[in-house]
Structure formats: C-alpha cells, structure tokens
Amino acid sequence: MTIQKRSILDQELIGLRDNILRITSMVDSAIEQAMAALYARDIPLAQDVIAGDEDINLLRYQIEEECLRILVTQQPAAGDLRTVVAAIHVAVELERIGDHAAGIARLVTRLEGEDEIDTLHKLPKMAKRAREMLSEVIDAYVSSDDAAAMAIMRLDDKIDRQYRKLFQETVKEMRDDDYIRRATYLLWVGHNLERIGDRATNIAERVVFMVTGDIIEIVSVEGDSDDTDDDDD
C-alpha cells in the first residue's frame, strides 16, 4: 500500500470511528431520556425519544454505506479489514440499543392514565449499569483494548441478576389485580435494559475480533443464587 493510499485509509477510518462515537452519544442520550420520562411520567419527553430513533437509524445506515465504500475503494487487509467489518456490526448493535430505548419510551406513553408507580424496583440500577457498559465498551472499541472488552462481557451477568430480581419482585406484587398492568410494563422496561446489556456484550465480542482476529462468545456461567451485590452502585 502506497503512503498516499495509507493516509487516505487512515483518515477514512478516523471518520468511521467518529461516526461510531456520534451514534453512541445519540443512543446513550436516548436511554437517559427514556428513563427520565419513566421516572417523571413525562409523555412529551417519551415522544421525543421515539421520534429521535429515526435519526439513529439513518446514521446507522450512513455508517454501513461508509464501510462498504471503504471496502470497495481502499480494499483494506488484515487488521484494517477487521476494523471496517467490526464497525458494521457495532453500528447495528448501537442502532438496536436505540430501538430498546425507544421501546422504553413507548411503554411510558402506555402508562399515561395509570396510577402512580410506588416503586421502580431494580430499574434505575439496571439503567445505570447498561449505560456504564455501553460507555466502557465503546471506550474499548476506540482504544482497541481487547482486555477491557473481555472484562465488559463479564459485567452482563450482574444486569441479568438484576432483571431476575425485578421479575421476582413484580410477580409478587401482581397479586394485587390493580397492579398487574403496571407491573407488566415495568417488566418490559427491564427486559429492554437487559437486552441493552446483551448488545453491549455483542459489541465487546466484536472488539476482541477487531483486535485479535479471534471470534469468541461469552456464555453466562452465573447460577441462580440470590447474589447480594446486586444492590451495589
């Protein structure tokens, strides 16, 4: 590869990384706003999140087109090729995380007219952990840190445990017929947050592939024990 062609490819890879950071920022903001809408029962804010999902979708397709153009015009090899292929997968996972945020916002709109919710159970902690995983995995992507990506994969077990506790707590409260509808919506919110953790794990697997060329899949090994560390921040 000539020096000039190398320089062009480097610039295009930087632009690709910058767009991944842009869509990450949009997705993280969508999660934050969707949860804020849930906490405050803010229907207009929830509707803004739903409307904003289209912008996330458009940027995802822009990134994919950019990747395909780089593959055709620059014909990257080895590590550069893995970087471009990984970016396609990362963009898809980020767009789907945006879908989960929009899904939470839609649930907020369906809660309109419902009685006030006494407790959100594990949802605030799940949201915090999901956003932390997203931030950390994109940091690992930008820095090409496969060790950090591996560490992030193991964090997914905790958000899974929090979701199971949410399920157990809300099912108990479903004994009150008036609470069944609200509890069901809260479970769906928790499911969306749990899936965000899964998506972050998928991105981490792609970071490992990008850096090492190894295709791995982390399988949860945590058991059904009632871990007390779920209440940690």
The larger pLDDT score, comparing residue 25 to residue 181, is at 25
Structure tokens at 194: 């749990």
Instruction: Kindly tell me if the per-residue pLDDT of 227 is higher than 50.
Output: no
137 burial (CB, 10 Å; 0-12 / 13-18 / 19+) is buried
Look at the pTM and tell me if it is higher than 0.85.
Answer: yes
Judge whether 88 and 71 are in contact, CB under 8 Å: no
Among 227, 160, 162, 223, CA closest to 197: 160
Residue type for position 90: V
Mean local confidence (pLDDT), 151-156? 86
Buried b (16+ CB within 10 A) or exposed e, 206-230: bbbbbbeeeeeebeeeeeeeebeeb
Lowest mean pLDDT among 60-64, 113-117, 136-140, 145-149: 113-117
Element (H, E) at 19: helix 3-40
Distance CA 131, CA 124 (A): 11
Ordered domains of the chain (ranges, CATH): 3-231 (1.20.58.220)
